[in-house]
Structure 1
Amino acid sequence: MRLIVITFLTADGVMQAPGAPEEDRGGGFEHGGWQVPYMDEDTIRLIHDWYTRVDAFLLGRRTYDIFAAHWPHVPNPDEDPIARQLNTLPKYVVSGGRPELSWQNSTLVTGDVPEEIRKLKALPGGELQVWGSGRLATTLMEHGLVDEYRLLTYPVVLGGGQRLFAEATPTALRVVDSTVTGSGTVITTYQPTGSPEYGSFALDQS
């Protein structure tokens, strides 16, 4: 399976608590729900399309808890393309503790996490999707496990909060797709291409 990281971001790179005011107050964050005013039909159609491609989910513990508190309880979950996939497909959860994972088809990833994720990627299937899960995404990037990033960047600046690439490994990216929705959300798909290259605009003084 290809490992895909999908993240909602502000223009200044904040990924924390996009969906609701109380979603994640960590660090005193007071801007939860910043994504909601920009969610339009263009974005929803694209997200639904991505969910048709997924064969399994890889989630950090915090994102798993947020999803588990919401998606099993939506009305008519079998008729919702997101709820249907999340409720039925395998969910692999990375956590520093030993949580009880009561959501069906949930499995705790233990031991050597990068190696276990390599084993998951070797399984047959199309996409192993990571939604949110900032700390996990940093680990995946550090070990070269990400095949593709799908970043949804919204036209809002918050100035503080958890950032996706706050502790990132230097990596060059190639843009493979980009679109702008009616609400101004820029949706860009990147693939890692290795280490960055460097140059200089300094004048030659020789």
Structure 2
Amino acid sequence: MTRKTTAHMFYTLNGVAEHADRWQFDSFGPDEMQSMAEMTTATTDLVLGRTLWQEWSGFWPGAQDPFAEWVNPVRKHVLTSTLAGELPWNSTIVAGDPAEYLEQLRQQPGGDIAIAGGVETTRRLVLAGLVDELTLTIHPVITGEGRRLFDDSVPTTRIRLLSSTHTQAGNIIATYALRSDDAAA
């Protein structure tokens, strides 16, 4: 049985998914926290890019927070071509092709696998057909700068809405099925 792979991005109305730290904290409330808690409950492995791993590994190990209680012990798989050797914080370097690595990880025992940051990492794995569900927390903000998750190079692709909710903070949390076998159902 293949493990479920999910990705969650904070998103603006004009599709920007980069630098969420600049615009999402003023509209992050209990509904958003509940959504994150639901995602983390089933997740045992986290795939993330080097930049996000370096940011998080410098902050979360000493934090006292519900997210820290989950992220500190979870297994982390770091996509990098610049880091080498043993990594701290329950982390493993992903050597070689990230899509191949994720496909092998999906075949191993465990809970869900979450893809976290950044834009390029998530886009690459979505386009490789390895992400089952994509959750977008769409914030009521337009920003003039930042990379978009899906740019003009992405072919037209039909996906299926699995669920959506409007939050007290004014966001929309929408979860989509991405894999063709899930999206066609």
Q: Please confirm whether the aligned pair reaches a TM-score higher than 0.5, indicating the same fold.
A: yes
State whether structure 2 residue 98 is matched by structure 1 residue 124.
no
Paired residues, what number?
A: 177
What CA distance in whole angstroms lies between the structure 2 residues aligned with 1:104 and 1:72?
A: 7
Residue in 2 that maps onto 1:157: 142
Change in 2 beyond 3 A, CA 1:122/1:11:
same
Please list the CA deviations of residues 87-110 of structure 1 after superposition, one character each: whole Å capped at 9, or x if unmatched: 111100111223466432100111
Change in 2 beyond 3 A, CA 1:135/1:101:
farther
What CA distance in whole angstroms lies between the structure 1 residues aligned with 2:86 and 2:139?
A: 32
Return the offset for 1:6: 0.6
Return the offset for 1:143: 1.4
Please list the CA deviations of residues 125-166 of structure 1 after superposition, one character each: whole Å capped at 9, or x if unmatched: 221001222111121122111111011000000022111112
Residue in 1 that maps onto 2:93: 108
Residue in 1 that maps onto 2:183: none
Residue in 2 that maps onto 1:174: 160
State whether structure 2 residue 179 is matched by structure 1 residue 189.
no
8 Å CA contact retained: 2:129, 2:179: no
Runs of 4 or more off by more than 3 Å in structure 1? 99-103, 167-170
% of aligned pairs identical?
A: 31
What CA distance in whole angstroms lies between the structure 1 residues aligned with 2:146 and 2:131?
A: 23
RMSD (CA atoms)? 1.6
State whether structure 2 residue 121 is matched by structure 1 residue 136.
yes
151-160 or 123-132: which moved more? 123-132
Of 31, 38, 42 in structure 2, the residue corresponding to residue 49 of structure 1 is 38
Change in 2 beyond 3 A, CA 1:169/1:125:
farther
What CA distance in whole angstroms lies between the structure 2 residues aligned with 1:70 and 1:48?
A: 19
The structure that has the greater radius of gyration is 1
Please list the CA deviations of residues 43-93 of structure 1 after superposition, one character each: whole Å capped at 9, or x if unmatched: 112212211111110001112122112211213xxxx33112211111001
Change in 2 beyond 3 A, CA 1:101/1:138:
farther
Residue in 2 that maps onto 1:24: none
8 Å CA contact retained: 1:171, 1:193: no
8 Å CA contact retained: 1:172, 1:193: no
48-57 or 92-101: which moved more? 92-101
Give the partner amino acid of 2:131: V
8 Å CA contact retained: 1:63, 1:133: yes
* 5+ residue gaps, structure 1: 20-32, 195-206
* 5+ residue gaps, structure 2: 181-185
Change in 2 beyond 3 A, CA 1:174/1:69:
same
Residue in 2 that maps onto 1:5: 7
Change in 2 beyond 3 A, CA 1:101/1:44:
farther
Return the offset for 1:5: 0.8
Change in 2 beyond 3 A, CA 1:169/1:126:
farther
